[in-house]
Structure 1
Amino acid sequence: MDYVEQRMAQEAVRPGEGSDSLFTPLNLLLASLFLYTAYSFFKPAPAAVIPKEEPAIVFKTFTPRTLLPFNGENDAPVYLAVRGRVFDVSRGRNFYGPGGPYANFAGRDASRGLACGSFDEDMLTKDLDGPLDTLSDLDGEQLGALQGWEERFSDKYLVVGKLVPVSEAA
């Protein structure tokens, strides 16, 4: 045997080694990919989470006095009225609830304050047992601003009732 043949015999592939082996990097990669795919296909699906149904909201008639407790304090819902319609603004608790920038409108008729762009306490109805504010002294610009607010509330929040004076409450 010449030198080349001896060298080839020395470098001959031993059983379980080299290119004939099952454990090549490519085979390991393919086996891993196959196992991952099989696991992904057969793994149990997570249980479906059914969202809690929101409680049904009953359309109610409110007076200024009966609307007042819905100001968001003690985890109460947050309602406010605009032109006689009562909106549930609880989803906007950060704005309308306690500590929010519009908190003084919670549980109240916010019509005049929204129309005038004012958060002052004097914009709110003082006599809770008296007639509702007719807004008759507002000018066209203020009425337009109020309409914009009313449309915004209608698009974003549910109407849960109407605001009536005590004299019309049944």
Structure 2
Amino acid sequence: MSFSNPLNILLIPPILYLVFRLIVPHPLKQTPAASTYSEQVYNWLPSKHPDIICQRRYTATELLEYDGTGLKKGGQRILLAILRVGPDGKWGERTVFDVTAGKSFYGPDGVYGNFAGRDASRGMAKQSFELDMLRPTDQPLDTLSDLTKAEIENMRGWHEHFERKYIVCGELVEDGEA
């Protein structure tokens, strides 16, 4: 090896470092014994696991508890329901979605905030966010029998959008069915 070439001189330190690391491994790359447990080794564990919401059946009154107003206090999630319509046009259950991830839209100050904790089927079908689209929670679920085919198709599209974007966490049922 000739030391007259400056490139050779520049390569000496990296080569020496690599040889040193082959002889003396880096202390952080050594793995502890499998049977050893310490807080330092498993420091990736969260201090508290996030709250989860279980799959269940909700009545309109129960669903109203999840309108997002508890989020400011560090509490409840935001849920809403939409009627599922199959590709064949047959109506299914009213799916309850956890839309907490979209709290800027569905929270109390969001543009769709009036749908939080409610059955949003009629409003989504008619593309209306007016309060008269919401059925009072002390009445039976909206039959939606007056919707046009275009409105039903619109509601189906919203349901598909929600299925791709949010967690399905239950089904909205009449009082007494929960």
Q: TM-score range by the shorter chain?
A: 0.7 to 0.9
1:149 corresponds in structure 2 to 158
The 5 Å alignment of 1:21-170 reads 25-34=6-15, 37=18, 42-43=25-26, 44-45=28-29, 49=44, 55-75=51-71, 76-83=76-83, 84-126=94-136, 128-166=137-175, 168-170=176-178
Q: CA deviation at 1:37?
A: 4.9
1:12 corresponds in structure 2 to none
Q: CA deviation at 1:121?
A: 0.8
Q: What is the rounded CA distance, in whole Å, between the counterparts of 1:112 and 1:119 in structure 2?
A: 9
The aligned amino acid for 1:129 is: D
Query: What secondary structure is seen at the aligned counterpart in 1 of 2:169?
Result: strand
Query: What secondary structure is seen at the aligned counterpart in 2 of 1:107?
Result: coil
Q: What is the rounded CA distance, in whole Å, between the counterparts of 2:21 and 2:124 in structure 1?
A: 55
Instruction: Note if contact 1:129-1:165 (Cα within 8 Å) is conserved in structure 2.
Output: no
Query: What secondary structure is seen at the aligned counterpart in 1 of 2:103?
Result: helix
Query: What secondary structure is seen at the aligned counterpart in 2 of 1:85?
Result: strand
The aligned amino acid for 1:102 is: Y
What are the superposed Cα offsets for residues 19-68 of structure 1, whole Å, 9 maximum, x if unpaired? 768xx7434421333356568884425x7846786555322221111111
| Unmatched tracts of structure 1, length 5 or more | 1-18
With normalisation by structure 1, the TM-score equals 0.72
Higher helix share: 1
Tell me which moved more, 132-141 or 32-41: 32-41
Choose 1 or 2 for highest CA Rg.
Answer: 1
- For the aligned residue pairs, the C-alpha RMSD in angstroms reads 3.0
Q: How many pairs does the alignment contain?
A: 148
| Unmatched tracts of structure 2, length 5 or more | 30-40, 84-93
Distance 1:20 1:118, change over 3 A: closer
